[in-house]
Structure 1
Amino acid sequence: MTIPLKLLGLPILAIAEILKPMDPIELLNLSQTSRKVSRLIFLANTHRWEVSFDKYIIIHTKKYSYNKIITQTAKWMSVMMTKNGNSEAKGWRTLYWKSADWISLVFHIIQVFKCSITKIRTGYSMNFQDFQRVMEFIMARQSEMKLLELTPLELDENVLEGIFKRIKITDTLTIFHKFSPKFCYRNDPKHIYIKHSGWFGLKNLLDSNCVSMELSWSSLSNRHLNMFLKKWMAGKYPNLHYLKISGEKLNFKGKILGIELPIEEIEDPWVVEDTIGGTIRTCVGSVQIRRPDGVKAYIHMDESGAFPFHVELTFFVWK
């Protein structure tokens, strides 16, 4: 207790200079010595940091990330330090925490550092009650999140719709859960991947402004895709870079953009690849098309290699 008492007697600027060199784990341990000290931790510019979690609680600073396993419940815990963009351990820290409840630790981190939770991957270590509790805490403090990934939890769709009305996902939304056809979502992140996308209908598609969309088990038909792609040909959807849709309602009858189905170049196929939203996207065996303004795109439509009896369309806009 000697150090915190000495700290409290210093001018604010001096306290800030002492705190700034400390890493997040040192600051968290210090924050538990007294309430007065915990209220000063933000002077280390901790509001610039970000917190994310899946099976780890991760604190992201400018250079390093600090990773703590969610299921670890001892009163002292090992925290792995990694350099941003690298998973190799650069060091270890010891965090002391009085409670076995990992959610209370998340709340303490946010309250003390005054930073945002930017990414959540629910993983398989979180139930819906935990998820709802965390989201209520987040929504009381912020209106946006960069990334949300929902694995097959026992989700309450009404509660989830309410969450989506209160918080905007700006970068990436990934949903593995199977919703009812009545499920409604009106957000517009840059990247979406929906495994069971039967509820994502024509209106969702036509209203989207995404950079990339991947929709599996889709209820969309050839006619719907034609409507969307014709609008793209007319200059709409300037953000679109990658579209992949597969489902049982797609077939090889008729044409897409006037091209006979299936759409596959065998003799001289185009293979295009790019990293989009942190994921490598490819389009193999595609046919090149051009919009009237000269923008190139590559289209491929054939049987899905991932889902039996599904037809898959891939549309790749060259940027």
Structure 2
Amino acid sequence: MPIALLKFPIDFLRDVFKLCDPFQLYCLSKCSKRTQRSIKLSGTRNWKIFSGSNRAVIHVDDWRYSFQKAEKPEAHFQQDNFYKSSSIQCPDGDVDLFFILLDTFGIRLVGMLSIDLCNFESVSKKAKILIERDIEIEEFCIENTRGAKDAVHIMPLVNRLNITEEFECWPRFLCGFHYQLDKYPKKIFINWSYWFDINQLLNSTCVRMVLDKSILSNQHIDVFLRKWNKAGEFPNLRWLQIASKKLDNRSPILGMIPPIQSFNSPTIFIRGTSDEFVENAVRVTKEDGTVGWLKVELGRWPELKFLVSNPST
């Protein structure tokens, strides 16, 4: 016997919808436009969405629920309760999948958005809507792809997005263009970082920076560290790691010729991480008393590690 669900009092509906998982709420939302509007009575519940190619994951109440595009009409609404996954109808692939879930649940926080530059049109659609709605993105990742010709267009979009925690960039961008990162989340990782120049490094407000395959030189690092040495500069920085073939033994960094290391110093690490540690580093003291630990190794890929001690951790 059908139940006129929407005729119940709003307070009752709110309590009912709060007991539903995202799959149940999504199914209800497809009954009618009125039902779709009503399920938002369940409240925000700290909804968070993680989006990749043809798949999105909703995180709520310490559970993750995976939604994917239904490849065939008969697969629509099919669920796998063991893996907490469900198929939904999406005419335009991952773009529709992303925004259907965003609108259905009234989500205001993207946990992670992973994009592929091989399909720049879909990337652009997602970015523009997120910019218009000023939705926070904790982690933004540009996946490793051979089709990086549209990278020159993605960076202006990246600078308009509200990325707060981490920016990851894996592909090798084409040479001949100027790529600029204007806004800095807490962490950045750039695999092919030849385009991340000294001016961007000097303007950074990051806590953690990893720049691989860089072209920053001894002179660049020396300029950066001398600025860091001044009181009040780079107050957030805790970790800097740079791999660059431009690091050599021809010019000094803070008056020291690489390799820079001290075999009498202890192993210094940042508590709670597995990869942020430095051994045999040279102690560097800032004007305000803050202590940094610097190590520069030479070899096939010369590498700099710089850890800034935080007394609270």
Q: Same fold (TM over 0.5)?
A: yes
2:296 is aligned, of 301, 306, 316, to: 301
Larger mean CA deviation between 6-15 and 25-34 belongs to 6-15
Q: What TM-score comes out, normalization by structure 2 length? A: 0.86
Residue in structure 2 matched with residue 159 of structure 1 by the alignment: 153
Q: Flag the 1:220–1:33 CA change in 2: closer, same or farther, 3 A.
A: same
Secondary structure of the residue that 2:86 maps to in structure 1? strand
1:159 CA drift (Å): 2.5
Q: Show the 5 A alignment for 1:122-137.
A: 122=115, 127-137=119-129
1:225 CA drift (Å): 0.7
Q: Flag the 1:29–1:94 CA change in 2: closer, same or farther, 3 A.
A: farther
2:120 maps to 1:119: no
- Counterpart of 2:25, as a letter, is L
Residue in structure 1 matched with residue 167 of structure 2 by the alignment: 173
Aligned length: 300
Q: Flag the 1:53–1:94 CA change in 2: closer, same or farther, 3 A.
A: closer
2:2 maps to 1:2: yes
1:313 CA drift (Å): 0.8
Distance 2:249 2:30 in 1: 64
Q: Show the 5 A alignment for 1:1-319.
A: 2-3=2-3, 6-46=4-44, 48-54=46-52, 56-68=55-67, 74-78=75-79, 91-93=82-84, 95=86, 97-99=88-90, 101-116=93-108, 117-122=110-115, 127-153=119-145, 154-155=147-148, 156-179=150-173, 180=175, 181-235=177-231, 236-266=233-263, 268-274=264-270, 280-303=275-298, 308=300, 310-319=301-310
**Equivalent pair of 2:69/2:97 in contact (CA under 8 Å):** no
Distance 1:214 1:70 in 2: 35
1:196 CA drift (Å): 1.1
Q: What TM-score comes out, normalization by structure 1 length? A: 0.85
Return the structure number with greater strand share.
1
1:69 CA drift (Å): 5.1
Distance 2:60 2:193 in 1: 36
How well do the aligned residues superpose, as a CA RMSD in angstroms?
Answer: 2.5
CA deviation string 1:130-155 (max 9, x = no partner): 32232233223225321111113324
Q: Percent identity?
A: 25
- Counterpart of 1:176, as a letter, is W
Distance 1:240 1:45 in 2: 37
Structure 2 runs not aligned, ≥5 long: none
- Counterpart of 2:242, as a letter, is I
Secondary structure of the residue that 2:213 maps to in structure 1? coil
